[in-house]
Amino acid sequence: MTSSLLFGIITFTYLAASFLYIGGFIFRSQKAGLVASVLTGLSFLVQTGAIALRWKESYSMGYGHAPMSNMYESLVFFSWAIVIFYMFIEYKFKNRLLGAFAVPFAFLSMALASLTGDEIKPLIPALQSNWLIAHVMTCFVGYAAFAVACGMGIMYLIKSTYDEKADRKGASLLATLPPLSVIDDITHKTIVFGFLWLSAGIITGAIWANSAWGTYWSWDPKETWSLITWFLYAAALHARFTKGWGGKRIAWLAIIGFLAVVFTYYGVNYLLSGLHSYGSSG
């Protein structure tokens, strides 16, 4: 069995887990939530094995590089990072309802990967560096945290709308969501976590750029948008720490920030040419 086949199977298992999480949320079914958590955990283990298998396959073909060198592989790793981060959140806060707002991002990442070429190719010279793994891992761990923060932001806005308009005496599925203060705290801490990793990603990328192109910063479109994204989250955290921003403001910033992440990661590769354009190749 090849890694590509395993990734194809995992795409559907993440879709099934997403439906189960959403179904558990809508129908308030603890059993559906439990099955979703088990399925997500098993899928994560299989995905981890598939990533290792793809790495081995590259060595068998004589290329021998980490499976993080193109759009297909980075989307797979992005999905993997989202799931491991979400599982930690679920374990820490003991609430499976969060999965309805996080695991679908992992499925979407895998679905996008399936639309790109899955062929294993030799690394171009610019990618033949020991900084490849450090840069990609730090960036995508940060991106994964921002994806979860976006989900939490959406959850906060939905929950706050219910709290403002719903009849508190009547039962509602939205009442089963965590309190707003808890969602806000998760969103904030997740953004902080992602921001630290994104900062590390930009630093490792600058070091790598210097070794590959002889300059730490060249204002390449992806570098520019990475900096824009960094400033968005920096502004959100600054407003939080100095102005006490929270609630809907931070929820909206989490969503807007992730849109910037998506454009930085995915849109730039296809819409703007630059030194990082190779990342769009399959």
DSSP state of 219: -
Q: How far is CA 183 from the centre of its chain?
A: 18
Q: Residues 266, 268, 270, 271: what is their CA dihedral angle, to the nearest 10 degrees? A: 140
What's the average model confidence in pLDDT over 156-168? Answer: 75
Question: Are 191 and 170 in contact, with CB atoms under 8 Å apart?
Answer: no
Question: Are 65 and 123 in contact, with CB atoms under 8 Å apart?
Answer: yes
Query: Could you report the per-residue pLDDT of 53-93, keeping only the tens digit for each?
Result: 999 999 999 988 899 888 999 999 999 999 999 999 999 99
What are the boundaries of each domain within the chain? Answer: 124-280
Query: Could you report the per-residue pLDDT of 233-281, keeping only the tens digit for each?
Result: 999 999 999 999 999 999 999 999 999 999 998 888 777 655 555 455 4
The reported pTM is: 0.93
Question: Are 26 and 18 in contact, with CB atoms under 8 Å apart?
Answer: no
Rounded-to-integer distance, Cα 168 and Cα 164, Å: 9
Angle at 51 between CA 48 and CA 57, to 5 degrees: 145
